[in-house]
A = this chain, B = another copy of it.
Amino acid sequence: MSVKTAAVIGGGVIGGGWAARFLLSGWNVRVYDPAPDTERKVHEVLTNARESLPKLADVKMPTEGALSFVSDIKTAVTDAQWIQESVPERIETKHKVFAEIQQHALETAVLGSSTSGYMPTVLQENATRPGQILVTHPFNPVYLLPLVEVVAGKETDSSIVDAACEILTGVGMKPLKVRKEIDAHIADRLLEAVWREGLWLIKDGIATTEELDDAIRYGFGLRWGQMGLFETYRVAGGEAGMAHFMAQFGPCLEWPWTKLMDVPELTDELVDKIASQSDEQSGAYSIRELERIRDNNLVAMMRGLKETNWGAGKLLNEHDQRMKNNT
């Protein structure tokens, strides 16, 4: 097989993660980001990825592709099969970047956006080749977490959606096709719901950032790493299953449980409170150290799930099998 090329436009934490995922899957990668410290940042992400991603594979990883940093979008995207936009979350910036990408991209290239908020149809506004544009929203760290939300806009070609899913599967990821576009897609809507409730609990002095994290990671976070919400509840319903669970839990929805009816104002005071609680909780480690701790944990958990052949572990086993068949 000839080596393929991915263009990564925007070299922050997410862009760097995409670069690492493609490189370690044997793709050549061209990164464009005008920020002066892009090379250093991408190399730091890549160092973490080289340290962790191979530990998830039980077969030989492909030979790493070639990484280059280029000085314009044209050079980045020319002849690339995958073009990933991960620039800041401002629609004018994204439109400008996509306009330039479309001038130079292959007609068969996937033009994916890492946007966590915008619907693909919004990205397609005034596009010359909207059929190639879609949302491919990953999760940090991109080189380890499999999920990518794949969202088509009104004008996205179905062949591009199919090509995107195939390529993502090929680099060991889990493309999740979202049925209808909606602001913030799926996962971030769930995350935002929790985030907002968490802010209230901190603001009202019910819990600190550390206590909230503990409430998650010693309890339902472990359940969610393997089954998610609904399958977990199906099991919790006991022998009577989901219907019983719904009957039991349903009425609670009418309780005045959460403050989610309202949006907490993110005052300086609340921001300071959160930042200082977070310092107290995690300040003993640098961000680099925390990244490595996180990566080691994710690897350990996913390796565990490889043994039970479930969820992310099943996906990894299937990916191993594909890699074995390719060689």
Name A's B-contacting residues (CB within 8 A): 12-13, 41, 89, 117, 139-140, 145-147, 149, 174, 176, 178-180, 182-184, 186-199, 201, 204-207, 209-232, 234-239, 241-243, 246, 248-250, 252-258, 260-264, 266, 271, 274-275, 277-279, 281-282, 287, 290-291, 293-294, 296-305, 307-308, 310-313, 315
Q: Supply 9 A–B pairs (Cβ within 8 Å), ascending by A.
A: A140-B235, A147-B219, A179-B206, A179-B211, A192-B257, A217-B312, A218-B311, A235-B294, A241-B287
How many copies of this chain does one complex carry?
Answer: 2
Q: Does the CB pair B197–A213 fall under 8 Å?
A: no
Q: Does the CB pair B207–A178 fall under 8 Å?
A: yes
CA distance A230 to B300 in the complex (A): 21
Residues of B with C-beta under 8 A to A304 = 297, 299-304
Residue of B nearest to A271 (CB): B246
> Contacts A205-B179, A227-B297 known; A174 to B255 CB distance under 8 Å?
no
Q: Does the CB pair A221–B218 fall under 8 Å?
A: no
Q: Does the CB pair A213–B231 fall under 8 Å?
A: yes
Q: Does the CB pair A263–B274 fall under 8 Å?
A: no
> Contacts A194-B229, A235-B291 known; A216 to B187 CB distance under 8 Å?
yes
Which of B117, B221, B291 is A226 in contact with, Cβ under 8 Å? B221
Residues of B with C-beta under 8 A to A277 = 230
Q: Does the CB pair B312–A305 fall under 8 Å?
A: no
